[in-house]
Amino acid sequence: MALAGTLSVAGLAGRVRAEPAKAPPAATPPDATALAALIKKGDITPLEAVDTAIARAEALQPTLNFMVNSMFDRARDQAKSGKSGTGPFAGVPFLVKDLNDVKGLPTRSGSRWTLPFPPAASQDAYVDAFEAAGFNIIGKSATPEYGFLPTTEPLAFGATRNPWNTAHSSGGSSGGAAAAVAAGVVPMAHASDGGGSIRIPASCCGLFGLKPSRARMIEAVPSTRVVDIAVEHCVTRSVRDSAALFALTERTDKAAPFAAMGQVTGPNKRRLKVGVVYNTLIGTPPHGEVRAAVDGAVLLLKDMGHHVAPAAWPVSPQFSPDFVTLWALGAVALIKTVSDTLGRPADARDLEPFTFGLTTLLAKLPPNGVADALARLEADAAAYDAWFKRYDVIVSPVLAEPPALLGTVGPSAPMNELMPRLLTYVGYTPLHNVAGAPAMSVPLHWTRDGLPVGVQFAARAGAERTLYELAYELEAARPWAQKTPPAWAG
């Protein structure tokens, strides 16, 4: 994401008793690991796998609008020729988020000004890693303009709709990826996170989504500064798919800030010290259904024997406005790039109202406003790290509300209405990007209306193993992969 919007903040719900652990039903849809095993055994061919994904994409694209462009012919050729190789996910269909270059496809970044751009002549290191793992890329998934919003409603391509209820947002900025995986088009898809963009769509679409630590994963230019907030990974239906791709795409070079973790394959018997936060970073309470989701997770953790206690954010309410300032700097840089490229000032033909609106926020700051905001964010990152001297994991909501109705937090909403919504709605995820720490959304709750609500679990920088081990335990106790939305291709 970037930031997101809020609707109404409803009353708080009562405590919810954790459900007893259940074994996954036999009808659970195959994840990427299972599909790769079927291909390897010869039960299905790579061509059958990709043809199935293409047929599903063509069937659901008119309803959900999760893809920006496709490379179906190339994917079929890859499958026929065996060029998917022998990686762990050989032959598994896959989508890459349209903020990354894929050779032979244009990169639109959710923006109108990129529409004349030719196909990319090269591709990112991350995409190379996907192909080395054996994934067969069938196309690019939708994103809001340059990932600025937590809903995928770019004016250039239209809204991506939530498979659980098409009147609602699939989240952002990896909303196209999440919609496609949730609907069963592909078993997993690439995603990235600069303020919640993996966790928010995972929460909105009932998926598992882990945001890695800063500089943990392979990158063209490894980032080390607090202002380097974006990281890449995926959204999945299972924990094991996410953990397997993590092991394949983490950094193993000598300069990596963390020792390579390898693939985590199951839970740990160690019981954790867990802190619980309910209110947003600006101090507002969550919607009742969101409160119920966290209450249920807390009771489940206690039933498992973990040690749970109340916690409070280690940063002041100024954190969220400071993060918006950081986000606005990205919009200013984008507008300059577009203007320089076009040879004229960028305008509404090129970029969205929200992108221009972000820049107006900087104009309202005092002379040293930007420098002061960045200094406070540095202090907030240090405070986050010190926080984990008391806890192994922090549990909180992902979003302040269930998935928003389309249009509520879209790019054309008036800034004086949209910004207050964003500060509340996305009141939980940006801190982990500034701190460079891992966090995950786990699909543990569905509302009375059938909308998914994820619960966020966060740890100190470099502690992805702790989160994955906990995720396996939660998945076994409260399985979710058998849940399928009304817009389901499988």
Q: Which has more pLDDT, 14 or 185?
A: 185
Complete DSSP assignment for 452-474 = EEEEEEE-STT-HHHHHHHHHHH
Let me know how long the chain is.
490
How far apart are alpha carbons 426 and 297 in whole angstroms? 20
Alpha helices in 223-347 (DSSP H): 239-249, 288-303, 319-342
Q: How many CB atoms lie within 10 A of CB 371?
A: 10
pLDDT tens digits, one per residue of 470-485: 999 999 999 999 999 9
Taking 80 as the threshold, does the pLDDT of residue 301 lie above it? yes
- Asked if residues 394 and 274 have their Cβ atoms less than 8 Å apart, the reply is yes
Taking residues 387-404, report their average pLDDT: 98
Under DSSP, the state recorded for 443 is E
pLDDT at 222: 60
Question: Residue ranges of the domains in the chain?
Answer: 32-477
Contact 65, 161 (CB under 8 A): yes
Q: Greater confidence, 136 or 3?
A: 136
Question: In whole angstroms, what separates CA 97 from the centre of its chain?
Answer: 11
CA 281 to chain centre: 19
- Of the pLDDT bands very low, low, confident and very high (cuts 50, 70, 90), residue 86 is confident
Residues with a known catalytic role: 97, 173, 197
Tokens found for residue 92 = 């598994």
pLDDT per residue as tens digits for the range 155-192: 999 999 999 999 999 999 999 999 999 999 999 999 99
Please give the distance of CA 165 from its chain centroid, rounded to a whole number: 19
Cβ atoms within 10 Å, residue 333: 11
Q: Which run of H or E residues covers position 55?
A: helix 46-64
Nearest to 487 by CA among 443, 439, 451: 451
∠ Cα 108 112 113 (to 5°):
85
- The CATH architecture that domain 32-477 belongs to is Alpha-Beta Complex (3.90)
